[in-house]
Amino acid sequence: MFRRCLLTALLLGASPPAFAQQPSLEAGAPPLAEQRYLTGRNLYRQGNLEGAAEEFRTAFDLFPESPKLAFNLGRVSERLGRLADAADYYRAYLRLAPEAADRAEIEALVVSLDRRLADQQGTLVLTTEPLGAAVFVDGATTAAGRTPLTVRLAPGEHALRVVLDGHETALRTLDLAAGQRSALTLRLVPVEAAPPPPPPPGPRAARTPDDGAWMPWAVVGVGGAVTVTGAVLLAQAFGAADDRDALLSEGGSVDEARGLDDDARLYQGLGWAGVGVGLVAVGGGLAWWLLDDEDATVSLGPWGPAGAAAQVRF
Residues 111 and 127 placed together within one structural domain of the fold? no
Determine, yes or no, domain membership for 235: yes
Quote the number of domains for the chain.
3
Regarding whether 219 and 276 lie in a shared domain, the answer is: yes
Q: How far apart are the C-alpha atoms of 201 and 76, rounded to whole Å? A: 74
Q: Are residues 130 and 87 in the same domain?
A: no
CA separation, residue 64 to residues 19, 57, 69 (Å): 17, 10, 8
Read off the pTM. Answer: 0.44
How do residues 87-142 score in pLDDT, each as one tens digit? 999 999 999 999 999 999 999 999 998 888 877 777 889 899 999 999 999 888 89
Q: Is residue 312 part of a domain?
A: no
Arithmetic mean of pLDDT, 200-209: 60
CB atoms within 10 A of CB 266: 14
Are 21 and 95 in the same domain? yes
Give the CATH number of the domain where residue 157 resides: 2.60.40.10
Residue ending a domain, among 74, 91, 119, is 119
Whether 112 and 12 map to the same domain: the answer is yes
Give me the domain span that covers residue 149. Answer: 121-187
Residue 197 lies in a domain: no
Supply the CATH number for residue 29's domain: 1.25.40.10
Once rounded to an integer, what is the mean pLDDT over residues 62-79?
95
Confidence band for 151, pLDDT divided at 50, 70 and 90: confident
104 and 174 inside one domain: no
User: Within this chain, do residues 109 and 134 fall inside the same structural domain, yes or no?
Assistant: no
The full length of the chain comes to: 314
User: Same domain, yes or no, for 48 and 155?
Assistant: no
The span from the CA of 286 to the CA of 217, in Å, is: 7
Q: Does residue 264 or residue 273 have the better pLDDT? A: 273
313: pLDDT strictly greater than 50: no
Q: Is the pLDDT of residue 301 over 90?
A: no
81 and 19 fall within a common domain:
yes
If asked whether residues 23 and 107 sit together in one domain, one would say yes
Q: Count CA within 13 A, CB hemisphere, residue 164.
A: 20
Q: Establish if 153 belongs to a structural domain.
A: yes
Residues 114 and 137 placed together within one structural domain of the fold: no
Strand-pair category, 181-187 with 149-153: unpaired
Structural contact between residues 73 and 60, judged by C-beta atoms closer than 8 angstroms: yes
Domain finish residue from 119, 141, 163: 119
E strand spans, 95-169: 122-129, 134-137, 145-146, 149-153, 156-163
Strand 122-129, strand 181-187: pairing: parallel
Query: Would you say residue 126 lies in a domain?
Result: yes
User: Tell me, what's the pLDDT at 152?
Assistant: 79
User: Is the domain of 112 the same as that of 156?
Assistant: no
Give 213's contacts (C-beta < 8 A, 6+ positions apart).
207, 292
Q: Is residue 80 part of a domain?
A: yes
